[in-house]
Amino acid sequence: MHKVIFDTDPGVDDAMALLFLHRHPEIELLGVTTVFGNVGVDLTTRNAQFLHREWEITAPVAKGAGATLDQTRTDDCAASVVHGADGLGNIGVPDVVEWPLDPRPAYQFIIDTVRENPGEVTLIAVGRMTNLALAVQADPEFAGLVKEVIVMGGAFDVNGNVTPAAEANIHGDPEAADLIFITPWKVTIVGLDVTMKTIMSSQDLAEMVAAGDKSVKLLSDLSQYYIDFYRNRVGIDGMAVHDSTACVYLVRPDLFTVRSGPVRVVCGGLADGETIQAPDSGRKFLGTAWDGQPSQWACTGVQAQSVLEVIRAA
Ligand code: BDR
Ligand code: CA
């Protein structure tokens, strides 16, 4: 059984990933922590509460960071073009959803849960990495007790989606992401290199709905805005299932090709949020910020159809 804490900014593709984690028979969801991103943290938290209520998910929800590590930025208004002003495709989620919140801030929930399950917990982060960074800052030694970190974010051999250099989750808090990549724990990065190849067609989604599952019907309803974005702005019929792809990595790493080497994030300037991986061996550089940093794992290839099958099967 994979024990997971899901750090998320729901978010349409986050919602799909949450349903996957909730349903997969080999996954035990220990908690869901929220972070600002696709919309502000009040809304991502409300959305997590809503999805928990609708899908009867009992894992605790802990509210997390509402701004970047350096406190200078909150939600990225541009993302509402993708996910809707409410973060869930403007389907009319009530302003307030009665659903319990864990009293701890997300970073403390993460630390406590990992310390209660040493060596067993995988952190899957599919939003800004601010909560994870706050946890590392508050308790650097907890990192050694984490089994693995899987993040959706970054763009290595392809363009970003916010700027040509940067992907949204990294661009939204570059300092936090950089700290996560230079922390001595195992991080696997599932970025646009693979998630933009993993496209669920609207036909696939319609077939899933036709099977008569009420939870999938809600997922389909809230995905329509996101599908329209991909149709009108990206020019494809379907949607990139970024966050679910990161979750599939947990159970089927064999479907991905990975490359190892230290990863740093550009903080500031034109390339703000760019992820750069140094080769693990071979080429030496004349003094760089990559020297002596831990190797991390970036996904460079994916068997996309098989990933989509795993998502559909859950
Ligand atoms: C990432 O940004 C968010 O909009 C999505 O939920 C995903 O986590 C893709 O760049
Ligand atoms: Ca997300």
- Residue 199 banded pLDDT, cuts 50, 70, 90: very high
Site to probe by mutation for ligand 1, drawn from 12, 86, 152, 156 as the one with most ligand atoms within 8 Å of Cβ, is: 152
- Secondary structure of residue 211 in the 3-state scheme: coil
Q: Answer yes or no: is the ipTM higher than 0.90.
A: yes
pLDDT of residue 76: 60
CB 243 within 8 A of CB 37: no
Residue 224 clears pLDDT 90, i.e. is over it: yes
Q: What are phi and psi of 29, to 5 degrees?
A: -85, 110
Instruction: Tell me how far the alpha carbon of residue 282 lies from the centroid of ligand 1, in angstroms.
Output: 33
- Residue 110 banded pLDDT, cuts 50, 70, 90: very high
pLDDT of residue 11: 94
Separation between Cα atoms, residue 100 and residue 6, nearest integer Å: 17
Is cis: bond before 11, omega within 30 of 0?
A: yes
To the query of whether residue 9 is one of the catalytic residues in this protein, the response is: yes
* 226-282 tens-digit pLDDT: 999 999 988 999 999 999 999 999 999 999 999 999 999 999 999 999 999 998 876
pLDDT of residue 77: 58
Sequence-distant (6+) residues with CB within 8 A of 245 are 152, 190, 194, 195, 198, 302, 307
Burial 62-84 (b: 16+ CB within 10 A, else e): bbbbbbbbeeeebbbeebbebbb
Instruction: Give the nearest ligand 1 atom to 11 CA.
Output: 6
Structure tokens at 120: 């067993």
Residues of the chain with pLDDT > 70: what percent? 98
Does ligand 1 lie within 6 Å of residue 11's CB atom? Answer: yes
- Residue 75 banded pLDDT, cuts 50, 70, 90: low
Does ligand 1 lie within 6 Å of residue 169's CB atom? Answer: yes
pLDDT of residue 239: 94
Does ligand 1 lie within 6 Å of residue 146's CB atom? Answer: no
Question: pTM above 0.95?
Answer: yes
What average pLDDT does the structure give for the chain?
95
Does ligand 1 lie within 6 Å of residue 273's CB atom? Answer: no
To the query of whether residue 242 is one of the catalytic residues in this protein, the response is: yes
